[in-house]
Amino acid sequence: MAFATTNPATGRVEKTFDPHTAGEVDARLARAYSAFETMRRMALGERATLMHSAADLLDAENPDVARILTAEMGKTFASAKAEVSKCALGLRWFADHAAALLADEVIDDISFVRYDPLGPVLAVMPWNFPLWQVTRFAAPSLMAGNVGVLKHAANVPQTALYLDDLFRRAGYPEGAFTTLLIESKDVARVIEDDRIAAVTLTGSERAGAAVAEVAGRVLKKCVLELGGSDPFVVMSSADLDRSARVAVTARVQNNGQSCIAAKRFIVEAPVYDEWCDKFVTGMAALSVGDPMDPATDVGPLVSEAQRTEIASQVDDARSKGATVACGGTAPDRPGWYYEPTVLLDATTEMRVLTEEVFGPVATVERAENLDDAVRIANRTQYGLGSSVWTTDAAERDRLIARIDAGQVFVNAMVASSPELPFGGIKRSGYGRELSGVGIKEFMNAKAVRQGG
């Protein structure tokens, strides 16, 4: 199997890369294991200097790297440049804060907890934010003294190899961050390798279950960030204009291919009709087209298979009685485009409410009151992010407390940032990335007590 960059805007294969042989994989794992001995003993200040160097390279190379992201997965060029900038910011944040996050935790006069790195960590990463999702693993891991081993999605090989080269050029020891061009079927063997200490995965529920099964069998720490079907709750007290405007962005960010994109919009009955009109108008006005065109709001889906899946979910809802308020078709043009779509009158018999919808398709449901809104929001197997809109302090507090999710954003769309823990509950996975919580996921909390 060759790894290929297939441009979603055209459907054409632009570059191919051969997978690493078994011998090449073994050599890379050997270098990673050796690099850990250097990284674990390196002073935090030196690690921070290297990380700042990587951030500087990212900033200097931003447009060129952004073009790779757009070519490989179809995100707009503007959003690709923003992703590169966010990665540089994330690297700098961990460089500047790791010392405080990893400081010994003093218990009493004779006891403290120190945090030691575990070793090489395998990261199995997806294609939708091909640079940021690796960065949010790599930045805390490398600052902690661990080593990164990346198995990236097969359709973003240029991004994967760029990351390998980035940390090398930043001055990291050889093997401190390494990319493996291997197929999914080969991941289990890498997890089982004694040189791998732990594994983290961002991806589908099915992929997460497969990785967790192998990691559990060999008793290795595992962090999983899986799918989401995030609710976006609008109460009658909300700013309707702003919430509807933000809702459009929250649904179609990254062409709708984001685990934390708002997907199910739940609106209190007294403002349901007015809010729906505003939201549908905003979705229908979006420009769909060439992701390199500055005027484009929504680019193509990542692959023909992904567009087929989205179309199937919409067709299922339509056949079972949902109202298509806008969109609902694939434009007749080259590339894997799909119109921004709003579905009304959806029911739990429809796949759009029981599965993750990974494209620019939204459902809007009516809630009679706050209790009903919470019931609808929690009526899902997922629990990743959530967004609630209200100007009433009592409503805000009740929604924060009662919604089952790893994140609740109030009067804002859900986003990841270095200072906040990122992850979910239920079938959205377990463990956390980012923040002080995430940096300690792959560390040994070593209890120390000193006798007299």
Number of domains in the chain: 2
Residue 200 sits in the same domain as residue 89: yes
Is 372 found in the same domain as 234? yes
- Nearest alpha-carbon partner for 358 in 326, 311, 421: 311
My answer on whether 203 and 277 are in the same domain is no
Give the tokens for residue 306. 């992904």
How much is the pLDDT for 70?
A: 98
Q: How many CB atoms lie within 10 A of CB 331?
A: 12
Q: Residue 313's domain is classified under what CATH number? A: 3.40.309.10
- Same-domain pairing of 336 and 215: no
Residues 141 and 171 in one domain: yes
Q: Does 205 participate in catalysis according to the annotation?
A: no
Q: Is 356 a catalytic residue?
A: no
Q: Are residues 189 and 323 in the same domain?
A: no
Do both 45 and 109 map to the same domain? Answer: yes
Choose, from 225, 355, 433, 441, the residue flagged as catalytic: 225
Is 7 a domain residue?
Answer: yes
Question: Residue 136 belongs to a domain with what CATH number?
Answer: 3.40.605.10
CA distances from 44 to 40, 58, 100, 144 (A): 9, 21, 10, 8
Residue 10 located in a structural domain: yes
Q: CA 258 to CA 302: how far, in whole Å?
A: 12
Q: Say how far apart CA 96 and CA 100 lie, in whole Å.
A: 9
Q: Does residue 423 lie within any of the structural domains? A: no
- Name the active-site residue from 72, 83, 222, 259: 259
107 within a domain of the structure (yes/no): yes
- Using 50 as the pLDDT threshold, list the residues of the chain that sit under it: none
Residues 157 and 283 in one domain: no
> How much is the pLDDT for 426?
98
Q: Are 255 and 74 in contact (CB under 8 A)?
A: yes
> Do 40 and 176 fall into the same domain?
yes
Please tell me the chain's helix, strand, coil percentages from 3-state DSSP, rounded to the nearest 5: 45, 20, 35
What does the alpha-carbon distance between residue 90 and residue 95 come to, in Å, rounded to a whole number?
9
pLDDT of residue 1: 66
Spell out the residues 6+ positions from residue 182 whose beta carbon is closer than 8 angstroms to its own: 19, 20, 25, 151, 190
What's the DSSP call for residue 105?
Answer: E
Rounded CA separation 195/237 (Å): 55
Instruction: Write out the residue range of the structural domain in which residue 176 sits.
Output: 3-226+428-449
Do both 153 and 271 map to the same domain? no
DSSP string covering 197-239: -EEEEES-HHHHHHHHHHHHHTT-EEEEE----EEEEE-TTS-
**Within this chain, do residues 214 and 270 fall inside the same structural domain, yes or no?**
no
